[in-house]
Amino acid sequence: MSVGIRHDDLRRRNRAMVISAVRRAGHPSRTEIAATTGLSHSTISAISSDLIQEGILAESRGSETVSLKRGRPQVGLSLNPEAAAVLALVLSLNFLSVAVIDYAGQVVAEEQRRLDTLTMSRDELIGECVAIVRRRLEDPDLDVQSVARIALAIQGITDSHARAMLWSPITPQTNIAFADILEDEFGIPATMENDCNMMAVALRWRDPDRYRDDFIAILLSHGIGMGLVLKGELFTGTHSSGGEFGHMIHRPGGALCRCGRRGCVEAYAGNYAIWRNARQLSENAEPVADVSDADMRALAARARETDGPEREAYRKAGEALGFGLGSLFALIDPAPVAMVGASAAAFDLIEPALREAIAQTAGGQHSGSISFDTEPNELPLIREGCAMRALSFVDQEIFAPGVQARGGSAGKNVA
């Protein structure tokens, strides 16, 4: 049950609102903030004066303030980069990357490592993550005290409290409470995020005009993932990160999926599935562990060239994605879609069958008007999403304390 609003919550919330207005707008003046938040000028003045004194905001006077209007010029407020820092970790197949981001959102340091995630033990996997964080924290250029948050994104299913990885295709290990492990190790609040959810968060920051309240980010990669924003909030399952679009059932009892079940969308549209179909292997053939990007590019090239099994494989992928999206649209109505990942570069091969399939579904009423965007590079997107999510936590918790406790559900407030 929702709890009453105390008197002191008021200031906290309005402080958080001012901070988020500055983060969104870049260099808004106090007057602009008053307009977007609906609060009075006096309130904004009081709050921003506090925030400046606390070193959270800074006046960015001069600079490009070419005031053409007459009257007292506006003085822009900006985030003080030194107010805090966050770490964005991304763990994907055979790859671990970390970035240190200042409070204004600029990357100040980064590091990447190749691993063999599929064969690593539980302890090795945890050890690598802890080690890479430790190395960044030991960087003499970094004020350790200022590091206020760590966000770790992983390909796979996480719990809805953003504490643990439950299952992931990149490792046989399950149920690793990465967030708790990192918190215990470094004493810095941490969250465990799903990679596709972070893609969605990043898209929202990158292009708020296109990706605002309702949109879908689909990762076309070895597996199929999805990040979903509905009514302005990141969608998650009741217990896990949810949104396992790739494991909706396309054909009951159909092709063998990497997850061991049959007929999932991914069993037709994941890289391994396209590969399997292009090679004309049986639908029951064991999914291969990895297909290189180069191999997939070659496959796509051949599909574009001749009408052979490669083209048919992409057609089947499109069909599976189309019927899957159709079922999804039956539930949530159509929304803009971003296709992310290496195979998004082959979306030209996928789109015709996808649209044809979608037209046969409940979501197909407006199938013509559904727009697809492609973005072949998922990694920067995931990292950016992680960073923004961690920063939003800092905004809300550290600098406007008491609104939420530690951790925070993965569901509320798209970072």
The β-bridge partners of 56 are none
* Sequence-separated (6 or more) residues with CB below 8 Å from residue 397: 189, 403, 404, 406, 408
CA distance 269 to 409: 31
Q: Minimum CB separation from DNA for residue 298, in Å?
A: 57
Q: 3-state class of 11 per DSSP?
A: helix
4 touches DNA (CB under 7 A):
yes
End-to-end CA distance of the chain: 24
Closer by beta carbon to DNA, 28 or else 156 = 28
Contact residue for DNA among 2, 42, 145, 306 (CB under 7 A) = 42
Q: Minimum CB separation from DNA for residue 186, in Å?
A: 32
Q: How far is CA 266 from the centre of its chain?
A: 20
The answer to whether the CB of 303 falls within 8 A of the CB of 314 is yes
78 touches DNA (CB under 7 A):
no
Stretch in the footprint of DNA (CB under 7 A) among 25-33, 169-177, 196-204, 405-413:
25-33
46 touches a second copy (CB under 8 A):
no
Question: What is the token pair recorded at 150?
Answer: 């760590």
Residues 169-228 that bind a second copy (CB under 8 A): 213-214
Binding site partner of 42, from a second copy, DNA, none, Cβ cut-off 5-8 A by kind: DNA
Binding site partner of 75, from DNA, a second copy, none, Cβ cut-off 5-8 A by kind: DNA
253 touches a second copy (CB under 8 A):
yes
Binding site partner of 41, from a second copy, DNA, none, Cβ cut-off 5-8 A by kind: DNA
Encoded one letter per residue, x for contact with DNA by CB under 7 A and - for no contact, window 43-72 reads: x-xxxxx-----------------x-xxxx
Q: 3-state class of 20 per DSSP?
A: helix
389 touches DNA (CB under 7 A):
no
Q: Which of 129, 137, 112, 121 is nearest to 164 (CA)?
A: 129
**Is beta strand 57-59 parallel, antiparallel or unpaired with respect to 77-79?**
antiparallel
Encoded one letter per residue, x for contact with a second copy by CB under 8 A and - for no contact, window 132-161 reads: ----------------------------x-
The answer to whether the CB of 384 falls within 8 A of the CB of 206 is yes
CA distance 22 to 140: 30
Query: Which run of H or E residues covers position 35?
Result: helix 30-37
231 touches DNA (CB under 7 A):
no
Binding site partner of 330, from DNA, a second copy, none, Cβ cut-off 5-8 A by kind: a second copy
How many amino acids of this chain bind DNA (CB under 7 A)? 30
Q: Which residues of this chain interact with DNA, rule CB under 7 A?
A: 4-8, 10-11, 14, 29-31, 38-43, 45-49, 67, 69-75
